[in-house]
Amino acid sequence: MSQAQHQKESLLKITPISDFSKKLNLQQEINDINARYAQALDQQELEAWPDFFIEQGRYQIQARENEDRKLPLSLMDLESQGMMKDRVYGVTQTIFHAPYYMRHIIGQALVLGSTTPDALTQSIDMPTDQELWVSHTHYAVFRTKPGSVSEVFNVGQYKDLWLSTDEGLKLAWRRCVYDSELILNSLIYPI
């Protein structure tokens, strides 16, 4: 993603939701999806992870420092469900690492409103007449190696764009903006 594209995404025109019950229903649905998302990752059901996204969905992990400076550099940037499936294959079939468990603690979603895909970059390929829901949610991920104490692995905020589908809400774009400038060892599993 170019710096201009990143600035465009960070300056989205967000239309607030005036219908309180609609906003509450969206928040509840997003909270439920985030709970299932955490459960899938914590149980290492990685094959289920790409299904939380639309086919053209995007998954990005970026340092807060880069986001604050409007720099496009990301630790991970997967631009489709196919790329996510490739990542899952790599993690489960080819990468060797010391085993560890993850535990996600995900806060309540803050539903900010809606936007349209034409306000974004061309990297999300979908009809421009569809509405995207914008939410921010804090997260913390703990890591526990067998025989060792748990440690904070990653803390930050999900900055999400959601699309309503026939199957319910799905992620069009999940940006995991992490607070720390350092990542313990390496990032293997999705956050």
pLDDT band at 122 (very low <50, low <70, confident <90, very high): very low
Q: What percent of the chain has pLDDT over 90?
A: 75
β-strand partners of 101: 144
Full domain range(s) for residue 153:
3-178
What distance in Å separates the CA atoms of residue 145 and residue 102, rounded to the nearest whole number? 9
Higher pLDDT: 117 or 147? It is 147
Residue 76 lies in a domain: yes
> Is-contact 156 62, C-beta < 8 A?
no
> Is-contact 88 47, C-beta < 8 A?
yes
What distance in Å separates the CA atoms of residue 191 and residue 189, rounded to the nearest whole number? 6
Residue 70 lies in a domain: yes
Q: What percent of the chain has pLDDT over 70?
A: 88
What digits encode the pLDDT tens for the residues 23-72?
999 999 999 999 999 999 999 999 999 999 999 999 999 999 999 999 98
What pLDDT is stored for residue 10 in this prediction? 52
Residue 189 lies in a domain: no
CA angle 155, 66, 161 (to 5 degrees): 65
Residue 72 lies in a domain: yes
Question: Which CATH number goes with the domain that contains 38?
Answer: 3.10.450.50
What H or E segment, with its residue span, contains residue 9? helix 3-10
> Is-contact 157 138, C-beta < 8 A?
yes
Cα–Cα separations (whole angstroms), residue 136 to 35, 46, 129 = 15, 23, 23
**End-to-end C-alpha distance for the chain, whole angstroms:** 20
Phi–psi pair at 49, nearest 5 degrees: -55, -50
To the nearest whole number, what is the mean pLDDT of the chain?
A: 89
Q: Which of 28-42, 84-98, 126-140 has the highest mean predicted lDDT (pLDDT)?
A: 28-42
The stretch 10-27 carries a mean pLDDT of 90
What digits encode the pLDDT tens for the residues 159-190?
999 999 999 999 999 999 999 877 877 788 99
Residue 185 lies in a domain: no
Q: Which of 97-101, 126-130, 172-176 has the highest mean predicted lDDT (pLDDT)?
A: 172-176
Residue 155 lies in a domain: yes
